[in-house]
Amino acid sequence: MAMQIVSSNAAMQRLARKWQRAGTRIGFVPTMGYLHAGHLSLVKRARQLVGRRGRVVLSIYVNPTQFGPEEDFSKYPRDLKRDLQLCRAQGVDAVFVPRDAEMYPGKTEGRYSTYVIEEGLSRGMESVTRPGHFRGVTTVVAKLFNLVQPDVAVFGAKDWQQAAVVRRMVQDLNFPIRIITAPTLREPDGLAMSSRNKYLKGDLRRQATVLWRVIQFVRSTARKSPKPVPAVRLKVQLKRLIESEAAARLDYIEFFRPDDLVPVRQVGLGAHMALAVFIGKTRLIDNASV
């Protein structure tokens, strides 16, 4: 079956309902495009979950409501032609490319006023630097779920807090959808794959590996220590390590329980960590189990 490209909300919903009436399972991978191997690994996982007879939908939408006024919405990398080629090669059944005018009708005139807000897991970390970010994420994901009608949706572990927030939204609002978090894919030097890596030019690309070096340092420290390490002390060490790179500036580092994101004061095996670092003007995030 040839891959379908769908741009209208109504057409996507009709297609999803047609598949549902036929008893076809739907796997969904929401993205903002500029696809890389990490995204394609999510497609592979979705295919595994729904099987050959199922349908895999990937959405490409740079969602304006999750960007702040000083963020890179207008500059976010886009290459739809290349993305569609990758989707065809990967066996995606349908690519949903919605339009702003349909996703947020009347927003520019102030007539769009309905948002989905998660008030627990979305606090802290990303929300501190990016207020309103998760309101945009949960709203667009809820809308996409209503349009695509998936049985299962696959998110990447690189955005750990985002996946946790979406999972909580699905539970609290009774979406009949299974949320899967797939492992982070990394470059050979450890840098987590990200569309924003395109921004890293010259020596900035090398300096960006400091995020992975921080993760390795924490894991090594936790393994070698006979008892948990105070989080406060560890954060001081990590800030010094990060900012030893000329272009690097720490946004945050947090240690927490992986399921409910509750911060921990003592860091040991089983804890989870997340960090955000500016490399020049590019803000990168990463996370890992300790």
- pLDDT tens column, 123-140: 999 999 999 999 999 999
Buried b (16+ CB within 10 A) or exposed e, 207-237: bbebbbebbeebeeebeeeeebbebeebbee
Of 36, 39, 133, 272, the catalytic one is 39
CA-wise closest residue to 159 among 242, 39, 27: 39
Q: What is the CA radius of gyration of the chain?
A: 20
Read off the pLDDT band of 1 (50, 70, 90): confident
Cβ–Cβ < 8 Å for 259, 267: no
pLDDT tens for each residue of 147-197: 999 999 999 999 999 999 999 999 999 999 999 999 999 999 999 999 999
Measured CA angle at 146 (ends 116, 132), to 5 deg: 25
C-alpha to C-alpha distance for 220 and 10, rounded to whole angstroms = 52
Q: Could you tell me which residues come within 8 angstroms of residue 101 by beta carbon, excluding any fewer than 6 positions away?
A: none
pLDDT beyond 90 at 107: no
Can 39 be counted among the known catalytic residues? yes
Percentage of the chain beyond pLDDT 90 is 97
How many residues comprise the chain? 290
What structural domains does the chain harbor? 4-182 (3.40.50.620), 195-289 (3.30.1300.10)
